[in-house]
A and B are shown apart, each in its own frame.
Chain A
Amino acid sequence: MGYGAFGLVEVLGEANAVLVTDQMLKAADVVYETQDTKCGGHALIFVSGSVSAVKAAVESVSEFPVCKIFNSAVISNPSEEMVKIVEEFKLRRKK
């Protein structure tokens, strides 16, 4: 399925990731893809949806941060290599 855009937000730790994910899902109609955390390190959350929805979600997080946001980005019209990597991350989390 085609992804309109990916939204990436990087926070510290899995607990903050849940907080930010919840805030993003309420802010706009985006789909939670997956998240990549490394034991105790930074958590990177992936959400996808249309470009405007993803932009709104990421902006709502950076305007009203629930915790320290290290980095956030919106990647519109992702290349198929990027989609392949995100799919791989989703599989990796399923194990």
Chain B
Amino acid sequence: MDGQYKGMAIGVFELDSECACFVALDAAAKTADVKIQAVERNRLSAGACVKMRGSVSDVKAAMEAALEAARPMANIVSHTVIAAPAADTETAIEMTIHK
């Protein structure tokens, strides 16, 4: 992935079902101006994780909207917002995208 996302805040959430991931992703993208970097299925059976980038306030608002949309559909494995990622965090984020 090119470096267009350098320095943006990171929002990552992982759900138990990929279908709920897309519902949450769509709700997040409609709520705030966030870029969806990737949707990955790192877990064999069902779950998927979504990586969002944008300004800190956008990512926070999008995260709330996403979790709100996903709560009835699937249980939330984990979620986090990183306001100012370090340089190596970027490479860690991009590493698993094209698996």
Contact = CB atoms under 8 A, between A and B. Distances in A.
B63 interface: no
A44 interface: yes
The bracket for how many chain B residues form the interface is 20 to 34
B50 to A, nearest CB: 9
A78 interface: yes
Interface residues of A, number: 24
A10 B44 CA distance: 14
A11 to B, nearest CB: 10
A10 B26 contact: no
A42 interface: yes
A85 B39 contact: yes
A10 B22 CA distance: 11
Q: Which 10 A-B pairs have the closest CB atoms?
A: A71-B19, A81-B29, A79-B29, A10-B19, A81-B36, A38-B41, A42-B46, A82-B26, A8-B19, A71-B17
18 contacts: A6-B22, A10-B46, A36-B18, A38-B41, A41-B43, A41-B44, A42-B17, A42-B45, A42-B46, A71-B74, A72-B19, A73-B22, A75-B23, A75-B26, A80-B29, A81-B26, A81-B35, A85-B22
